Amino acid sequence: MKPKLVVTVLTVFLLIYSATVTADYVRPPPRKTLHFPWSSRPSPSPQQVHISLAGDKHIRVSWITDDKSSPSIVEYGTSPGNYSETSDGESTTYSYLLYTSGKIHHTVIGPLEPSTIYFYRCGGQGPEFQLKTPPLQLPVTFAVAGDLGQTGWTKSTLSHIDKCKYDLHLLPGDLSYADYIQHRWDTFGELVQPLASARPWMVTEGNHEKESIPLFKDGFESYNSRWKMPFQESGSSSNLYYSFEVAGAHIIMLGSYAEYYEYSDQYNWLKADLAKVDRKKTRWLIVLFHVPWYNSNEAHQFEGDAMMASMEPLLYAARVDIVLAGHVHAYERTERVNNGKSDPCGAVHVTIGDGGNKEGLARKYKDPPPEWSAFREASFGHGELKIVNSSHAYWSWHRNDDDEPVKSDETWITSLISSGCIANELGS
Ligand SMILES: *[C@@H]1O[C@H](CO)[C@@H](O)[C@H](O)[C@H]1NC(C)=O
Ligand SMILES: *[C@@H]1O[C@H](CO)[C@@H](O)[C@H](O)[C@H]1NC(C)=O
């Protein structure tokens, strides 16, 4: 061949080749569960430190020690090494087959100032941690990722969340994927500690938290012992559902695995909790639970239907703005929906069960998509929800593309109250 022709053929080949490569981006496969060296630390040292909101101006610090005599005290203050305050808390342990947990400490500190950095130490010794309290008023930013697990992808997702400026982490279920192997709860606690000790992590349960054994274990024992959430503070009788306020927004964490039928405890609690929200003052109402109600992925079809039939009328009447769910290992965002179809006064539903767990992605979608589906993609990643003011929130979803966070979906959401959707009185 003549040199000129060779060059032309090569160029054409390269053009076609690069076109096919960009068009068919091959999504990387699931990554293996990480392995951690375990039980190498001195026993009184605090491990698995994480924090959560615990009522107005208060934060619960949770950690574990191998040493059963270690006290449940937290010393804290606003300058490093200078602890002007001390709180004492409670502790628990649990056994699961051959495993016995360390001493699990839960200590509430406060009252704390908003938007303030506090330095703290657990059990009277060990390293100093720092946390930042959420703001008193809007704006507020939430990081959102469900179905985390503890794989290479989890690590990637956590490092991307760490790079964003956020006030609070919201997790719609499936934390450790310990799946009965109890020490994996401990390794998960260590994996998330750098983030979860610095910003409140507000979680609700998924199916992987259950770990029940018929006639022997009821379920949620490890989860409830380790991830105590402010259910008592919000008038709930179960750690599986609760609510909290942050920066003037009301967030409700429901339980897909607690009874949800009409007149069940959870249903009655939800109704009472919604009735307490003054929508004149509280412009944003957000709900999280594990199993999505609006899902056009082939995975987990219909699983959320019974809960939706029971509870969606309550959420709709109260004008819930945004619903965040997990369970399906992919991302999907809907238009405003209610009762199975688009509705200008319904909630925007987001499925974000793609934190990076070991089970991999749910790639198959229903075709054609339902009219309410606005965006869907099977990739690992995380979401960021910034509530800017009483009328506007900015939502973005960041896909883990070859370990880089790439913003793939973004939208402005206007609050229902500011859009003229007036909340209905809930009958008592
Ligand atoms: C320690 O903190 C207290 C109260 O926040 C403050 O009054 C005091 O000056 C601080 N001491 C030092 C040495 O920084
Ligand atoms: C709320 O934020 C949006 C987006 O930045 C802006 O367009 C709007 O004017 C703000 N509204 C108020 C009342 O400040």
If you measure from the C-alpha of residue 326 to the centroid of ligand 1, how many angstroms do you get, rounded to a whole number?
44
**Average pLDDT estimate for 73-89:** 98
What's the confidence (pLDDT) of residue 404? 82
**246 pLDDT more than 60:** yes
What's the confidence (pLDDT) of residue 403? 78
**Nearest protein Cα to ligand 1, atom 14:** 82
**11 pLDDT more than 90:** no
Q: Return d(Cα 139, Cα 386) in angstroms, integer.
A: 7
What's the confidence (pLDDT) of residue 223? 98
The CA-atom distances, in angstroms, between 319 and each of 20, 169, 282 are 46, 23, 11
What's the confidence (pLDDT) of residue 26? 55
The CA-atom distances, in angstroms, between 325 and each of 14, 83, 102, 171, 256 are 43, 39, 31, 9, 10
Can you say whether the dihedral through the CA atoms of 125, 128, 134, 135 is positive or negative?
positive
**370 pLDDT more than 50:** yes
CB of 84 closer than 6 A to ligand 1? yes
Token pair belonging to 366: 């229903």
Q: Using H for helix, E for strand and C for coil, what is the string for 105-135?
A: EEEEECCCCCCCEEEEEECCCCCCEEEECCC
- Collect all residues with Cβ–Cβ distance below 8 Å to 31 and sequence separation of at least 6: 151, 152, 153, 356, 358
Q: Return d(Cα 269, Cα 258) in angstroms, integer.
A: 12
**60 pLDDT more than 50:** yes
**CB–CB of 397/333 below 8 Å?**
yes
Q: Return d(Cα 399, Cα 332) in angstroms, integer.
A: 12
pTM: 0.91
CA atoms within a 13 Å half-sphere pointing along the CA-CB vector of 230: 23
**CB–CB of 307/327 below 8 Å?**
no
* DSSP states of 306-332: HHHHHHHHHHHHTT--EEEE-SSSSEE
Q: Return d(Cα 424, Cα 428) in angstroms, integer.
A: 12
User: How do residues 118-129 score in pLDDT, each as one tens digit?
Assistant: 999 999 999 999
Best of 283, 386, 388 for a ligand 2 pocket test (most atoms within 8 Å of beta carbon) = 388
**161 pLDDT more than 60:** yes
**CB–CB of 156/394 below 8 Å?**
no
User: How do residues 86-117 score in pLDDT, each as one tens digit?
Assistant: 999 999 999 999 999 999 999 999 999 999 99
Helices (H), 296-414: 305-317
Look up 300 and say whether it is catalytic. yes
Give ligand 2 pocket residues (Cβ under 6 A).
388-389, 391-392
**54 pLDDT more than 50:** yes
**19 pLDDT more than 90:** no
Q: Which of 3-17, 20-34, 172-186 has the highest mean pLDDT?
A: 172-186
The one catalytic residue in 290, 300, 329, 382 is: 300
Residue 23 confidence class, pLDDT cut points 50, 70, 90: very low
The secondary element (H helix, E strand) that includes residue 246 is strand 242-246
Burial class (CB in 10 A: 0-12, 13-18, 19+), 65: buried
**Average pLDDT estimate for 245-259:** 98
Q: Which of 137-146, 200-209, 418-427 has the lowest average pLDDT?
A: 418-427
**130 pLDDT more than 80:** yes
Q: Return d(Cα 284, Cα 282) in angstroms, integer.
A: 6
Residue 426 confidence class, pLDDT cut points 50, 70, 90: low
What's the confidence (pLDDT) of residue 10? 46
Residue 42 confidence class, pLDDT cut points 50, 70, 90: low
**Average of per-residue pLDDT values in the chain:** 91
